[in-house]
Amino acid sequence: PFRGLPTRMRQLIDNHHSALERLLDCLETPHTAVACFPALYKRRIGDGEYGLALVEAVGHLNHLYQRGLISRSRREDGAWLWQRRRNEQA
């Protein structure tokens, strides 16, 4: 049996929230999903994990986008550029 599930679940949730905060900070300027890797993972992403890292990064970006916290625009080469939205009430 697996022991410590509540603790492990709390760790995963906390890590996810921390990653989203780091990502928002990173997006003060426009970035592609790949350019967000250092903020999300805090380590080098190798060839063997690149695809999974990209999918996870896009998932985080889409989450923030759906919450209205970031915007996106297409670059000339078709890549999405993501950026934190400015608080229009400030």
pLDDT, tens digit (0-9, with 9 covering 90-100), for 3-16: 899 999 999 999 99
Domains and CATH numbers, the chain: 5-84 (1.10.10.10)
- Between CA 90 and CA 87 the distance in angstroms is 6
- Between CA 50 and CA 29 the distance in angstroms is 23
pLDDT, tens digit (0-9, with 9 covering 90-100), for 65-90: 999 999 999 999 999 999 999 875 44
pLDDT, tens digit (0-9, with 9 covering 90-100), for 43-69: 999 999 999 999 999 999 999 999 999
Q: Where are the beta strands (DSSP E) in 1-90?
A: 70-74, 80-84
Phi/psi at 13 (5° precision): -65, -45
pLDDT on residue 7: 95
Opening angle at CA 56, ends 16 and 83, nearest 5: 80
